[in-house]
Structure 1
Amino acid sequence: MSDISLPENAGNSPQSDAASAEPNQPQRYTPAEIEPKWQARWDADPSLYAADAHDSGKPKYYCLEMLPYPSGALHIGHVRNYAIGDALARFMWMRGHNVLHPMGWDAFGLPAENAALKNNVPPREWTLSNIASMKKQFQRLGMGFDWSKEVTTCLPDYYRWNQWLFLKMFERGLAYRKKSKVNWCPQCATVLANEQVIQGRCWRHDETVVEQRDLTQWFLRITKYADELLTGLDKLEGWPEKVRTMQRNWIGRSEGTNVDFMVANAPASASNGSKITVFTTRVDTIFGATSIQLAPEHAVAKAFAAEDPRLAEEIEALLLQQQKARETDELGAIEKHGVPTGRFAVNPFNGERVPIWVANYILADYGTGAIMSVPAHDERDFEFATKYNLPIKRVIAPNLDTDDLPLPYLAEEEAVLIDSGEWSGEACLEAQDKMAAFVETGSFGSKTVTYRLKDWGVSRQRYWGTPIPMVYCEACGADEPIPVPESQLPILLPEQIAITQEGGSPLGRVPEFVNTTCPKCGGPARRETDTMDTFVDSSWYFYRYTDPHNDTAPFDSAKVNYWFPIDQYIGGVEHAILHLIYSRFWTKVMRDLGLIVNDEPAERLFTQGMVIKDGAKMSKSKGNVVSPDLMIDRYGADATRMYALFAAPPDRDLDWQEEGVAGISRFLGKIFRLTTKFAQLEGGEAGPADAALLRKLHQTIAKVTHDFSGRWHFNTSISSIMILVNEITANEAAIDAGQVTAATVKSTLRSLIQMIAPFAPFLAAELWETLGEQGIVFRHPWPESDAALAREDEISIPVQVNGKLANVIKLPSESTDEEVKAAALLDEKVAARIAGKTIVKVVYVPGKLVNLVVK
């Protein structure tokens, strides 16, 4: 269940505690009464969780969890994510920060349309109803969100600014429309961005194979920021390395050279078929090129096919093979097939004619859609050349003797060029620079950089999304998009329409939406009927949180510049390539628009582990979802959220066990019993128990404070609190007998309640009031650890001889280094171990160990 288990006696039930207590003291822990009482009080005070003004004098702290999709109900996986952020926000409040902790709804998207198709409920009605239900769940869980900052992305006051920002991108050439091969999910009946295709399947439907189609679509030019997105990752030291690596790999920067191979006897039908441009990262191997291979959809291949029906059929067969492999995510392992075109290209370095082939493993949308094949020095090219008996020519070797050189030979650092004209004998790296310069001097190519990252396709052929603010006018040019004037925003979604999956956007079947007036000529025009990808909504929502009711701009730049970057962002690693890379792109665009000054959205990112139930990730599709409502009804909200933080470190997967929630509930009952029992305690005499209790208290404060400031090992924080509670219980008889002062007991209970406040806010509020304290507990300062009180009276020091344990000695905690070393030498067991030997060195690691090196 956890790296940490409930300590002994942590599971005592509140009922048994109550039975053993004095009958006149209220001891029963009843979360069903306590929690609604406090939630009602908090709801009545909208300023409780509200951020302070910018000039409050406090350091700011923007704590944010990724906003949820309003599916209708939270599950325990949600609880874990939001309990992490809520605990952190409460801790930072108590540490004196001005905290912004907002919440909103990623409310557009396909599930609402699917629900409309299934249940005949309009998407807006379904979505807003789900939001109301989930908001009640958040409140029942006691989450400390500033609801005055609430954002709902499907409402016009939000998506108006999606449209406004889209227009700004269009003005700058960052939003454009083109015909392209796109990813089509037949189940979603819409286009997907490359980032939404996971192993050849839809990101929403992992059983649905994504198809390839030719469609005219809207794109955002994310590739313009490819270099900055890549180099910016080096500055994100507060992000997990796993996420940064995933983004680096997705951006996929490659430095190389474009080289033009002229086509011998180019076909008359080819408008631009007189040359083939190849991209290579190893221009130094060009003398070893023995063929050129084209993608089946390459323009030159199409030109060849236009003059040769037989070749056209063979190329079409290759294309079908490629599409099938792409759709099943087997392109990397595709059996390589190719067909010769009967044509030749000329190598610009040596004038040699090399045959032109079309191959099924070359992609039109990767690089230039053409490669120079160097089989002697590339495994893939070697496989192809061997299969089709193409020439294999060595041009790189570890030295000038190549008689025993195995093939394919992948160049090592010390490799040199051979049989490469004037560059023979040159080291590979040096030759690359010189040969790339030769290409540019000869005007048959250039140095270049390519990326795996492609522009973001944002068109969706569905209804429930932001309308794209463009129109088309026959008089002005039927295919030329015309931007809607900003004064006409927002372009509203019609609320009552028939949603079907007949093909194309449902908006195209709504005449009152489609038919409009051209902003340029005043004549009849038609609106764009595609809607925006829902990842547009989540790319900038956290900026809107700072100024959610602004109706003249997306936000007030001064407010954003105060709060940004986000100090701590929390969410799942599954969004590393989707939401997180899009939001970084959107941030850079808004910076260049002059709206913000920060380069990155979040300074620190935390990706929590998954919640596992019955051996699988908790999800509706798996049928293993646990409702927090059920857990709250049985054990209370505090126990539910505290167990989610206790059962495993937050960055690891959590195996959900209901009996663990029951154990936490009993533990909270124990705190309740002890606090109510001793709340009115008076008198008492100071004794050894006082020092022991204070020592454990201040050690616990130090531990929990450190855990919050470090890697958030909340499981060990809660375990430390459990040990402190056991220490109080162990001294209960002494307290009853007046052998511990009331001041010590109440000081311990006061700090204990403050430490559980981030994890169990309802119980903390109740017990804070029970102790007679004023105000809300999590608006009071966090307790400080007193190092002197936390120090042990004795320290235990292992003594080793040549690295092997000889004994463990106990000394006063204030012992100096020299006193520790002397005590180690005088210990009887140690002395016996070193008798007759020479001490070479005495090594002391303060507070840890002494090691005697002897011979």
Structure 2
Amino acid sequence: MPPCFTYDHRTVEARWQSVWQQTQLYEVDLATTAHPFYNLMMFPYPSAEGLHVGNVYAFTGADIYGRFMAMQGRAVLQPMGFDAFGIHSENFAIKQGVHPGKLTARNIQRFRETQLKRIGNRFCWNHEIQTTDISYYKWTQWIFLQLFKVGLAVRKKATVNWCPSCKTVLADEQVIGGECERCNTLTIGRELEQWFFKITQYAQRLLDNLEQLDWSEKVKTAQRNWIGYSETDDTVQYHLRDWLISRQRYWGPPIPIIYCEVCGTVPVPEEQLPVQLPETENWLPQGTGNSPLADIPEFVNTTCPCCGSAARRETDVSDNFLDSAWYFLRYPSSDRSDVPFDPAITAKWLPVDMYIGGAEHSVLHLLYSRFITMVLHDLGYIPFEEPFRRFRAHGLLTKQGAKISKSKGNVVNPDRYIEEYGADTLRTYLMFLGPYDQGGDFSDRGIAGMRRFLERVYQWVLKHQNHLQPHPPDLASQQRLHQTIHKVSEDIQSLKYNTVIAALMSYFKMLQAKLSIAEVELKSYLLMLAPFAPHVTEELWQQLGESGSIHQQKFPQFDAQLLITEQVTVTVQVNGRTRTTINLSPNASQEEAIAAARHTQAIQRHLNNQEVHRAVYVPGRILNFVT
């Protein structure tokens, strides 16, 4: 094989990632662009282990859908950020003996620069958010204040779930089978004064709205079961309890409340936000029921904003599920420092058009997000009460039949596979493992096979690039092409990515067997493959001498008539004399028959310089041109 036919994925992928970044290919002018489409994926915790292959699986599936919608003419906003506050990040910082602020910044840098920018997603980095940024958590605190003002944020004494290992309280939703969902420690009951959001006031509405949502059914079922509507002795009851948001930890947004002996419980005035998380080296959880913030006098001691008396600040921080309950509202307005979300931009881009994520977030994140959205709608801040038009839950990956986890020692690090095989190979292989909503089993042998497939495509295109036929292929080839376009288009919209790739492999096998390739066949193939393998298709598009990115082209459209495989032979006459025959669908109209006949060389020759007075068409039998 000549050197120019060798597919060097490292060079190709680095080149196009650089070009996309420099040209801002995936950025969107949110204010002026038409046909908006908000494509959302769940932002990750920036843990020190980095992205795992399950993240790449989730993100790739969402990215393919976003790329497909962009090729349908939609202006796609596909942002990414970091859910960087909370117990998960703080526990790892404790384990490493590093301040969570330093560790989080380091982890985010690694996630963004060495992983997320290498997997080939069309991320809009201009709208990146981090929940630990003051510019973000100022508005998390603002949301708390809005709920407090209308009586939906209350402090009360209650028996709560206490995790002795994490040394904090947990919401009911964070206790699985009596154990802490983070560390699997058995929780105990403890009576403490805590802050709650009164989500129970929205229980029936949260339940009723599920009927109208275009979401994965298993997620809707999980929410119905958690809300738990029941009737006993003509009294309505719910399983749902108020959302406990207090955390006796350091790594989170301070709850914006002040306690005054004269005025009582006082909200921090909005103009004094944010209540900044203070720097301290004494950030380890105490286990006393108090946050480490309680031991910082310069933070605790303040003055009452109402009467000016000496007062003290609330020292609990809010749960990171509050951070993620509204992040989708912040992305499009991340450049605004004066408001949490721009009203015009929010009305234009939201609700989210497509949200893809894990079913394990069915209750916690998705239920909380719906609640916060409903409250903000009721308070007049946003014009919709459900945040996500469509939600699809992806499946889980296994290795050798077992769930991928550190405890089983079968964690798959995507970095190694991107380096060895390329991001395009990893993306396409992950989507081929099985139905996207079910997952599949990861194997090294399988990914090597996918690499060979992409190499064959690369070599085949370069072999034929200077020998393409400009005219359309024969009818049978046209039918096969349009059947493939139809299959690929329908299955991408249904997230049936494994069957899309199977169809592309089958069609490619047919193309390889042909002696000559029409230009439309080769270009259509690259366009259909582009959402899955964005780097190699971009490279080949440029090799063909095309201007502009392949990712800004229109996705191939199928002709419904060419999907019909049943054909009849129609005799074509000029002034009653047979000149040729054409193959048509039995249901072809006179206009379609005339167009097909005029496309043949014989009819073009016999009608040359003649005026057709009329055409007589007997469906399925004869077409006669009268000149």
Q: TM-score range by the shorter chain?
A: 0.7 to 0.9
- Deviation readout 1:18-47 (Å, 9 max, x if unpaired): 3xxxx4x7211110111001111111122x
Report matched runs for 1:435-450 at 5 Å: 448-450=235-237
One-letter code of the match for 2:38? Y
**1:537 counterpart (305, 323, 333):** 323
| Aligned partners of 2:10 and 2:419 also within 8 Å | yes
Aligned to 1:702: 486
RMSD: 2.0
Report matched runs for 1:183-262 at 5 Å: 183-206=161-184, 208-236=185-213, 238-255=214-231
Q: Find the aligned partners of 1:53 and 1:473 in 2 and give their Cα distance.
A: 44
Q: Find the aligned partners of 2:308 and 2:270 in 1 and give their Cα distance.
A: 16
Secondary structure at the counterpart of residue 68 of structure 1: coil
Q: Find the aligned partners of 2:70 and 2:470 in 1 and give their Cα distance.
A: 34
How many percent of aligned residue pairs carry the same amino acid? 46
Give the superposition deviation at 1:241.
Answer: 1.9
Give the superposition deviation at 1:451.
Answer: 1.6
1:456 aligns with 2:243: yes
Q: Find the aligned partners of 1:646 and 1:491 in 2 and give their Cα distance.
A: 48
Secondary structure at the counterpart of residue 519 of structure 2: helix
**1:761 counterpart (534, 539, 557):** 534
Give the superposition deviation at 1:813.
Answer: 7.6
**1:135 counterpart (98, 112, 122):** 112
Q: Find the aligned partners of 2:19 and 2:492 in 1 and give their Cα distance.
A: 27
Secondary structure at the counterpart of residue 26 of structure 1: helix
**1:660 counterpart (434, 446, 449):** 446
| Aligned partners of 2:479 and 2:565 also within 8 Å | yes
Aligned to 2:605: none
Report matched runs for 1:96-495 at 5 Å: 96-136=73-113, 137-206=115-184, 208-236=185-213, 238-255=214-231, 281-282=232-233, 448-474=235-261, 476=262, 480-495=264-279
Unaligned runs of 5+ in 2: 569-582, 589-627
**1:67 counterpart (43, 56, 59):** 43
Secondary structure at the counterpart of residue 96 of structure 1: coil
Q: Find the aligned partners of 2:228 and 2:470 in 1 and give their Cα distance.
A: 70
Aligned to 2:415: 629
- Deviation readout 1:410-444 (Å, 9 max, x if unpaired): xxxxxxxxxxxxxxxxxxxxxxxxxxxxxxxxxxx
Q: Find the aligned partners of 1:472 and 1:497 in 2 and give their Cα distance.
A: 25
One-letter code of the match for 2:496? H
Aligned to 2:579: none
Give the superposition deviation at 1:779.
Answer: 0.6
Give the superposition deviation at 1:553.
Answer: 1.1
Give the superposition deviation at 1:53.
Answer: 3.8
Give the superposition deviation at 1:120.
Answer: 2.7
| Aligned partners of 2:82 and 2:131 also within 8 Å | yes
Aligned to 1:35: 13
* Cα pair distance change 1:682/1:644, threshold 3 Å: closer
Secondary structure at the counterpart of residue 430 of structure 2: helix
Aligned to 1:555: 341
- Deviation readout 1:284-319 (Å, 9 max, x if unpaired): xxxxxxxxxxxxxxxxxxxxxxxxxxxxxxxxxxxx
| Aligned partners of 2:257 and 2:265 also within 8 Å | yes
| Aligned partners of 1:219 and 1:458 also within 8 Å | yes
* Cα pair distance change 1:95/1:499, threshold 3 Å: same
Q: Find the aligned partners of 2:293 and 2:247 in 1 and give their Cα distance.
A: 11
One-letter code of the match for 1:505? S
Unaligned runs of 5+ in 1: 1-17, 256-280, 283-446, 736-743, 796-811, 818-855
Count of residues in Structure 1 that have an aligned counterpart in Structure 2: 570
* Cα pair distance change 1:728/1:175, threshold 3 Å: same
**1:750 counterpart (523, 526, 529):** 523
| Aligned partners of 1:247 and 1:576 also within 8 Å | yes
* Cα pair distance change 1:488/1:699, threshold 3 Å: same
Aligned to 1:259: none
Give the superposition deviation at 1:222.
Answer: 0.6
One-letter code of the match for 1:491? V
- Bigger relative contact order, structure 1 or 2, given CA contacts below 8 A and separation 6+? 1
Q: Find the aligned partners of 1:779 and 1:684 in 2 and give their Cα distance.
A: 22
**1:45 counterpart (12, 23, 38):** 23
Give the superposition deviation at 1:683.
Answer: 6.1
Aligned to 2:55: 78
| Aligned partners of 1:35 and 1:763 also within 8 Å | yes
- Deviation readout 1:551-583 (Å, 9 max, x if unpaired): 111111111111111111111111111101100
Q: Find the aligned partners of 1:142 and 1:453 in 2 and give their Cα distance.
A: 41
Give the superposition deviation at 1:781.
Answer: 0.7
Q: Find the aligned partners of 1:36 and 1:816 in 2 and give their Cα distance.
A: 51
One-letter code of the match for 2:554? P
Give the superposition deviation at 1:199.
Answer: 1.2
One-letter code of the match for 2:20? W
Give the superposition deviation at 1:118.
Answer: 2.8
Secondary structure at the counterpart of residue 23 of structure 2: coil
Q: Find the aligned partners of 1:622 and 1:109 in 2 and give their Cα distance.
A: 25
Q: Find the aligned partners of 2:267 and 2:468 in 1 and give their Cα distance.
A: 76
Give the superposition deviation at 1:204.
Answer: 1.1
Q: Find the aligned partners of 2:133 and 2:6 in 1 and give their Cα distance.
A: 46
Q: Find the aligned partners of 1:67 and 1:182 in 2 and give their Cα distance.
A: 29
* Cα pair distance change 1:52/1:693, threshold 3 Å: farther
* Cα pair distance change 1:156/1:681, threshold 3 Å: same
| Aligned partners of 1:696 and 1:727 also within 8 Å | no
Secondary structure at the counterpart of residue 466 of structure 2: coil
Q: Find the aligned partners of 2:315 and 2:271 in 1 and give their Cα distance.
A: 20
One-letter code of the match for 2:345? K
One-letter code of the match for 1:759? F
| Aligned partners of 1:251 and 1:451 also within 8 Å | yes
Give the superposition deviation at 1:746.
Answer: 2.0
Q: Find the aligned partners of 1:715 and 1:81 in 2 and give their Cα distance.
A: 14
Could you tell me the TM-score, scaled by structure 2's length? 0.88
One-letter code of the match for 2:105? L
Q: Find the aligned partners of 1:90 and 1:683 in 2 and give their Cα distance.
A: 28
Give the superposition deviation at 1:682.
Answer: 5.5
**2:559 counterpart (767, 786, 798):** 786
- Deviation readout 1:475-529 (Å, 9 max, x if unpaired): x16xx32111111110111123312233221111112211111212222221111
| Aligned partners of 1:52 and 1:99 also within 8 Å | no
Q: Find the aligned partners of 1:111 and 1:792 in 2 and give their Cα distance.
A: 56
**2:437 counterpart (630, 651, 664):** 651
Report matched runs for 1:682-693 at 5 Å: 690-693=474-477
Aligned to 1:524: 310
1:713 aligns with 2:496: yes
| Aligned partners of 2:47 and 2:92 also within 8 Å | no
Q: Find the aligned partners of 1:568 and 1:118 in 2 and give their Cα distance.
A: 37
Aligned to 1:609: 395
Q: Find the aligned partners of 2:479 and 2:460 in 1 and give their Cα distance.
A: 19
Give the superposition deviation at 1:782.
Answer: 0.7
Secondary structure at the counterpart of residue 712 of structure 1: coil
Could you tell me the TM-score, scaled by structure 1's length? 0.65
Give the superposition deviation at 1:792.
Answer: 3.1
Give the superposition deviation at 1:660.
Answer: 1.2
- Deviation readout 1:152-199 (Å, 9 max, x if unpaired): 001110000111111111110010101100011111111011111111
Secondary structure at the counterpart of residue 546 of structure 1: helix
| Aligned partners of 1:113 and 1:499 also within 8 Å | no
